[in-house]
Amino acid sequence: MSDVTKRILLTLASGVYLASPVDLIPDIIPALGLADDTVFLLLMLYAWYTMFQKPPVDDKPVRKGSSRPRVIDVKPVEVDPARG
């Protein structure tokens, strides 16, 4: 399962839990009743944040005026001249 799929499932599960009337800890208990809802809300926000985050930038970009260009490694392939 990919990371994006896991985050989508986490978001859906958190949303269903927050919308449902059933709680792990009832809201009758003042502080703890809201704590479980807060944890699921934070999980959902974290999943959204990581899902829409920009990919990391190349940490070693080539600077302008650099005497050493980037190296691209390739595997050589022989071409049969008869086949074109």
- The pTM for the full model equals 0.52
Structure confidence by residue, pLDDT tens digits, 29-74? 878 878 888 888 898 888 888 877 777 666 666 566 666 667 788 8
User: According to the model, what pLDDT value does residue 33 have?
Assistant: 79
27 lies in which domain range? 3-51
User: According to the model, what pLDDT value does residue 62 have?
Assistant: 58
Is residue 72 one of the residues assigned to a domain?
no
Is residue 27 one of the residues assigned to a domain?
yes
Contacts of 50 by beta carbon, 8 Å cutoff, 6+ apart = 7
Q: What angle do CA 19, 21, 24 make, to 5 degrees?
A: 100
Q: How far is it, in rounded angstroms, from Cα 17 to Cα 37?
A: 8
Is residue 78 one of the residues assigned to a domain?
no
Structure confidence by residue, pLDDT tens digits, 15-29? 888 888 887 787 788
Give me the number of domains the chain comprises: 1
Torsion (CA) 38, 43, 49, 50 in degrees, nearest 10: 160
CA-wise closest residue to 9 among 50, 47, 52, 53: 47
Is residue 25 one of the residues assigned to a domain?
yes
